[in-house]
Each structure stands twice: as C-alpha cells, then as structure tokens.
Amino acid sequence: MSAVKFNQQQLSVLDEADLQQSASELESLYQSNNLSLDNLLLLLEVSNALYRAGYPVIDDQSYDQYLDQLKDKDPVHPYLTTVEPEVVVDSKTVPLPQKMLSTDKAYSFEEIKKWSDRILKAADELDVAESDIQVRVTPKLDGYAAFDDGQTLYTRGDGVRGQDVTRAFARGLQVANDAERGLGPGEIVIKKSYFDEVLSKHFENSRNIQAAIIAEKKIDANIQKAIDDGACVFYPFAAIENWTGHYQTLLNDFEKIVESIWNAVDFDIDGVIIETTNEEIKAHMGATRHHHRWQIAYKVNDESAEVEVVKVLPQTSRTGRLSPVAELIPTKLSGATISRVTVHHYNMVKTNGVGPGAVVQLVRSGLVIPKIEKVIKAAEPELPENCPSCGSHVIWESDHLMCPNKTDCPAQTENTLIHFFKTLGNNDGFGPKVIEKISGFNVKHIHQIYQLTIEDFVKFGFGDKTSQNLVDQLKASREIEIEDWRFLAAFGVSRLGGGNCEKLLQHHTLTELFDISVEDMVKIDGFAQLSAEAIFEGLANIREEFFKVYQLGFNLTQTPKLSDAGNSDSPVAGKTLVFTGTMLQGSRGDMEKQAKGLGAKVAKSVTGKTDYLVTGEKVGEAKIKAAQEKGVTVISEGEYLTLINAESGL
C-alpha cells in the first residue's frame, strides 16, 4: 500500500464526516500493515466516506484488500453484511420496495472461473443442462445507485431504506435508452463526453453532480441544463447494453467480450457485471446479506508503464488498411507480459514519431488490451512503403496507409474469407490457419471454397478426417439458420456491420438492397449521405460474388420489416407521443407500451418533433403551454383513449 496524503478537498470531506482522528494519524494508519480491528474499520469508513463524496484516497483494489482483511479478522462483522452507505442527501428515509445489494468483486480471470464453477455446481444440483447456462455481461456504471418502481425513485441508502428522490424526474431526468419508468434498480449517471466538454469547466467530477441532481436544494443552472440536454439520465440495468450468451463462450472469449462491453457506453464505469440469467439457478444460489451469489463484478485497476519500441510492423486488414503494430521490449503490466501493441493508425506513427527507440506510455485502463496513451520520447517514425503481403506500393487515405491492390493481395483476400466464416458464426473450422493454407492453392473467393471436395482438401494437405469435417462444416454453414443481416455483414463491406445491415433490411429485402439508390438509402433513419455513398459503392463491388454465394442456398431468416410492426392503421402509428402526469387508465409504462404496440414512437420529453403530449392528472400549466408553443397537440388521457378507440383497461 503506497503512502496516502490528504489534499484540501479530502480534508474538507473528512471534517464533514466528523471523524475524530487527525489526518496525520490516519495517514500513518494507511501505511501500517498490521491494523487493529478498530483501526481497520476506521480506515474503511474514512475511505468510503471520501470515495462516496468523489475524493477517493486509495484505489478500489486496495479498499477491497482492506475489506478482505476485515473478513479474515471477523467474518460476520456488520460492515461486511450491509452495503456501504452512499453520501446522505437529507435525513428522512423510506423503506425500499426491494432490497438492494452490493456486488462480489473479482480482479482476475481465475476468480471469474471460480465463480463460474459455483454456477456450474448449482446447475448440476438442479439438473439444469450445462448447455442451458446463460450469462449476461453489462457495464458496471459508476454513478449513484437508485431504484425506480414507476412511481417513486429511491436512493440505495443502506440497501434496505433509502431516500425518496422522485424530484429528480420532476426536474426532467430522463430514463436512458428511451426505456420506460419502473424497471427497478439502476444508476443515475452523466454522459462522459458531455462532462468533459461542458461540465468539467464547472465541476471537478461527476459525483458532485449526481448528488446535486437528487438534492433537495435548488439545482445549479449548469446541472439543470445537463438534464435538459439529456446528458444526465437514470439508467435501469434492465435496459443496459449487454452481451448475453453461453458461459463457456464468455470464458473462451473473455478479453474480447469484456472489452466490448467496457466500451459500450458513454458513461463512467468501474468494471463489468457478470451474472447468470437462469432464474432457477438464481433462486437456488440466492444471496448473502451483502451480495447476490449469482452475480459478480469484474474490475481491473488502471496501470501504466513506459516501454521502449523495438520496431513497427504493418499488418494488412481485409479492407486494405495497414495497421501499425509496435513490437515492444516485453514489459509486465497488470500481471500480463506485453510485447506488442497496435498503434491507432499510421498518421499517429508519422506525427508522433513512433519507431525504433521511441518510448511510449502504455495504459491498461480497465481494458484487457493495453493502449498507447502517449509517446514520451519520439524517434524516427517507421513507415512502410509497400504492403507486407503483396508488395504493392501503399498510398495515404486520410489517416491511413492503404494497400490499393483490391484483387490480388493475399492478406486482403484471406482476411475477407476469415471474416465471412467468423461472422456467419454457425460453423467451425475455417479459421486463419485453414484459410491461409487453402489460399496458397489459389482459392481466393468465398464461392470457390464452397466448391471444394474432400479430395481437394486432401490434396491441399489436410488429413482425411479434417477434410471430411471441413466439407461437413461448409454444409452446416448453409443449413443452420442465420439472420439475413448477419449473412450480409459477413461480406465485410465497409460501414456495413451487423447494425447497419439490420437497419437496411428493415426496409428492403436482401436482394433488393443491391438495386436501391443512394437517395433511397439516405431516406432511412441513420444513413447520412457519405455513408450511403460508401455503402452503395461497397455493394456494387461485392455484387457478383454476393450472388454467387447467395445462390448456393443458405438458410436465412428475414429481418422483420418496420412496417410489419404494430398496427399501422392506428391514428397514432408513426406519431411521436409523450405521456406526462399520473394516468388513470393504467400505469404510464403500460400506456407507453400499448402506444408502441400501435406503432407510435414514445419519447420522454417534448421537442419540436413531438406530435402529441398526453396529459394525465397533475400536469402543470407551464408544461402544457411550453408544449403548445412548440406546436405540439396537447390532449388529455380521455381524449387519447377516444383517439385510439380503447375504452377499457389495458
């Protein structure tokens, strides 16, 4: 444990926390390695108070190690069996509708494996098949824990009693991802980019702001603006970005999955949450008084190191872009030895002087894969003149060096083939090694692979069994059902990842897409002129190959068309509605769901794009007037029900 020195802000919080010990006494406690129970508790309480106020003195891992010490000394100590209290905003508390717990923590993959063994054991005891064990990975938001039962918003408090902070919604706080109210536990969080760009001028950290959003006293104008701009939100965990899949897939692809979830949201996070979604297992494992046994937080500490670059080597991707990979003098970082790192792009290599002898600062900031944070000492940049795969002369395209050889560059063709089979995801066997081998025999296109026979594979040097298996896998890839958007994404057209493919296929069938114009594409939500042009060109380039492959007959499921959803005859179909106030007919959440079912878009706040503001009881005159000024039609709940022609209950 490194030395602790309190700064001015921490000292002011220490005063508030009304602690008896002087700061210098505390500092010496932090450095002693054999603490009495009382002092250990004091340390935990002081650290916690400072952490909750936004001025931590030690990192999370150290804090959790002190917690472990307490566990050793007194396993049933009350501090371990309740959740650590948040900063108190006012004194009145109310019981929470449901107990809110803390989480168990893991700082290594081994601990995650042990946790998964416990899940496996529970499944075994319940006779749940191993193949049915699903897990969900979500970003662990680092905000202010709260609970929304649809009527009231509560703080977590001590986990059993919290405070009523419904006023945050009255102040305009929105639910993230356009989700409804009443989804239970979540966090009040502030968009990172917004904090950096706007709020960091006025506030030191997000924690001060979170507290202000729910505080009883008058709210700061900058914070009110952040709420109005949608930058502060309540994020229910039920609606959060997630990866859900088989637990073994998670263990196999742990780093990649964790990294993608770590980067999935524009909010501060301090780890990822991993939990099983199997209700039977959850019920069986239950909870301690501190955490659910079926859930665990995976955390990583920020660590950095200064490392010398040995050389910078290019790697050609499937699109022809060259990625610079810096080879490093092997260095230990958060327990792993790092010997290479990808540099952002070649322009960075050039302008920051990344080459032999340069010194870079590597940071592993919660991420499993380290990144170059900055170049500490520049050197002569090492830039390639030719593609490492085909030898073509490379050219600059904005920040990137590109291999212009679209038809005959082995790296580009191989990576395209690997991408195809990997994206389909319903087969096994066509990984980098196999693809490299068959490319050596002039197999360059997807449709060619499908023509290969067992004899061909044997000729290429595969064993009899492997050859049989490869042919079986090709068959499986056509027979096992996959979504049409995934099939299209497998062709690797630039800007046509799964998400965009799905959006396009909600409007056009797969084969139609090859005939729509740039203008048609721009009309679809989410496609700007430039991406539409790039996609149009990309589709034209793959057209011939696409149809050759498509005609082999894959088992594709069609993406539902947007117009199929809901009841398009309804007078509210396609309209944007906002519900406000207390509804008589049912909960607001139910009414919103019903409206969505009728094809309406439901928004949380009134903008110029809103068609109807549906008002329940207790809606202020000012709100109604403001909506009318924006040209929004304001109707009562009764008028709305007449409009949609639903007289009775939902």
Ligand X SMILES: NC(=O)c1ccc[n+]([C@@H]2O[C@H](COP(=O)([O-])OP(=O)(O)OC[C@H]3O[C@@H](n4cnc5c(N)ncnc54)[C@H](O)[C@@H]3O)[C@@H](O)[C@H]2O)c1
CA distance 484 to 592: 30
Selection from Zn ion, ligand X, none that 237 binds (CB < 5 to 8 A by kind) is ligand X
Provide the Cα torsion 510, 471, 497, 138; round to 10°: 120
Nearest distance, CB of residue 334 and ligand X, angstroms? 16
Identify which range of 91-99, 241-249, 262-270, 407-415 contacts Zn ion by CB under 5 A.
407-415
Which amino acid appears at position 528 of this protein?
A
Selection from ligand X, Zn ion, none that 273 binds (CB < 5 to 8 A by kind) is ligand X
The residues that bridge with 296 in the sheet, in sequence order, are 104, 274
22 is in an annotated binding site: no
Identify which range of 10-18, 99-107, 403-411, 510-518 contacts ligand X by CB under 6 A.
99-107
Nearest distance, CB of residue 409 and Zn ion, angstroms? 3
232 is in an annotated binding site: no
Q: Which two tokens stand for residue 307?
A: 């490392």
The answer to whether 64 contacts ligand X (rule: CB under 6 A) is yes
Catalytic residue list contains 465: no
Instruction: Give the angle 557-558-561 at the CA atoms, nearest 5°.
Output: 155
State the number of binding residues for ligand X (CB under 6 A).
27
Structural contact between residues 479 and 427, judged by C-beta atoms closer than 8 angstroms: no
**Contact with Zn ion (CB under 5 A): which of 102, 155, 389, 576?**
389
Choose among 463, 465, 474: nearest CA to 421. Answer: 474
Footprint of ligand X on 136-175 (CB under 6 A): 138-141, 145, 156
CA distance 312 to 580: 58
Selection from ligand X, Zn ion, none that 282 binds (CB < 5 to 8 A by kind) is none
Selection from Zn ion, ligand X, none that 212 binds (CB < 5 to 8 A by kind) is none
501 is in an annotated binding site: no
CA distance 316 to 523: 34
Which amino acid appears at position 92 of this protein?
K
Selection from Zn ion, ligand X, none that 505 binds (CB < 5 to 8 A by kind) is none
The answer to whether 262 contacts ligand X (rule: CB under 6 A) is no
| Overall size of the chain counted in residues | 650
Closer residue to ligand X, CB minimum distance, 243 or 612: 243
Site pattern 332..371 for Zn ion (x: CB under 5 A):
----------------------------------------
The answer to whether 403 contacts Zn ion (rule: CB under 5 A) is yes
**Contact with Zn ion (CB under 5 A): which of 103, 155, 210, 405?**
405
The answer to whether 107 contacts ligand X (rule: CB under 6 A) is no
The answer to whether 413 contacts Zn ion (rule: CB under 5 A) is no
Selection from ligand X, Zn ion, none that 405 binds (CB < 5 to 8 A by kind) is Zn ion
Q: Out of 73, 92, 113, 140, pick the active-site residue.
A: 140
The answer to whether 103 contacts ligand X (rule: CB under 6 A) is yes
Closer residue to Zn ion, CB minimum distance, 102 or 412: 412
**Contact with ligand X (CB under 6 A): which of 6, 30, 51, 243?**
51
CA distance 143 to 627: 31
Identify which range of 51-59, 117-125, 366-374, 469-477 contacts ligand X by CB under 6 A.
51-59
The answer to whether 600 contacts Zn ion (rule: CB under 5 A) is no
Q: Which two tokens stand for residue 609?
A: 């794009």
Under DSSP, is residue 643 helix (H, G, I), strand (E, B) or coil?
Answer: helix
Closer residue to ligand X, CB minimum distance, 101 or 572: 101
Strand 576-580 relative to strand 303-316, pairing: unpaired
Choose among 138, 157, 139: nearest CA to 147. Answer: 157
Under DSSP, is residue 147 helix (H, G, I), strand (E, B) or coil?
Answer: strand
The answer to whether 409 contacts Zn ion (rule: CB under 5 A) is yes
The answer to whether 102 contacts ligand X (rule: CB under 6 A) is yes
Q: Which two tokens stand for residue 533?
A: 């042009």
The answer to whether 42 contacts ligand X (rule: CB under 6 A) is no
The answer to whether 87 contacts ligand X (rule: CB under 6 A) is no
Instruction: Give the angle 123-128-133 at the CA atoms, nearest 5°.
Output: 70
Q: Which two tokens stand for residue 195?
A: 């904090």
Provide the Cα torsion 572, 574, 580, 586; round to 10°: 50
113 CB-near residues (< 8 Å, 6+ apart): 251
Nearest distance, CB of residue 237 and ligand X, angstroms? 4
CA distance 604 to 179: 9
CA distance 179 to 259: 25
The answer to whether 115 contacts ligand X (rule: CB under 6 A) is no
Structural contact between residues 442 and 456, judged by C-beta atoms closer than 8 angstroms: no
Q: Which two tokens stand for residue 444?
A: 């360059």
Closer residue to ligand X, CB minimum distance, 273 or 516: 273
The answer to whether 207 contacts ligand X (rule: CB under 6 A) is no
Strand 232-236 relative to strand 174-175, pairing: parallel
CA distance 373 to 360: 7
Identify which range of 221-229, 252-260, 345-353, 391-399 contacts Zn ion by CB under 5 A.
391-399
CA distance 561 to 564: 5
First-to-last alpha carbon distance for the chain, in angstroms, is: 59
**Contact with ligand X (CB under 6 A): which of 4, 40, 43, 48?**
48
Structural contact between residues 276 and 250, judged by C-beta atoms closer than 8 angstroms: no
Nearest distance, CB of residue 383 and Zn ion, angstroms? 16
Selection from ligand X, Zn ion, none that 48 binds (CB < 5 to 8 A by kind) is ligand X
187 is in an annotated binding site: yes
Instruction: Give the angle 53-56-62 at the CA atoms, nearest 5°.
Output: 140
The answer to whether 535 contacts ligand X (rule: CB under 6 A) is no
Structural contact between residues 374 and 361, judged by C-beta atoms closer than 8 angstroms: yes
The answer to whether 63 contacts ligand X (rule: CB under 6 A) is yes
Identify which range of 95-103, 428-436, 476-484, 618-626 contacts ligand X by CB under 6 A.
95-103
Three-state DSSP string of 256-276: HHHHHHHCCCCECEEEEEEEE
Identify which range of 56-64, 432-440, 564-572, 631-639 contacts ligand X by CB under 6 A.
56-64
Going by the annotation, the residues of the binding site are 60-64, 102-103, 156, 187, 299, 387, 390, 403, 409
| Contact residues for Zn ion, defined by CB under 5 A | 387, 389-390, 392, 403, 405, 409
Give the catalytic positions in this structure. Answer: 140
| Contact residues for ligand X, defined by CB under 6 A | 47-48, 51, 56, 58-60, 63-64, 83-84, 100, 102-103, 105, 138-141, 145, 156, 185, 187, 237, 240, 273, 297
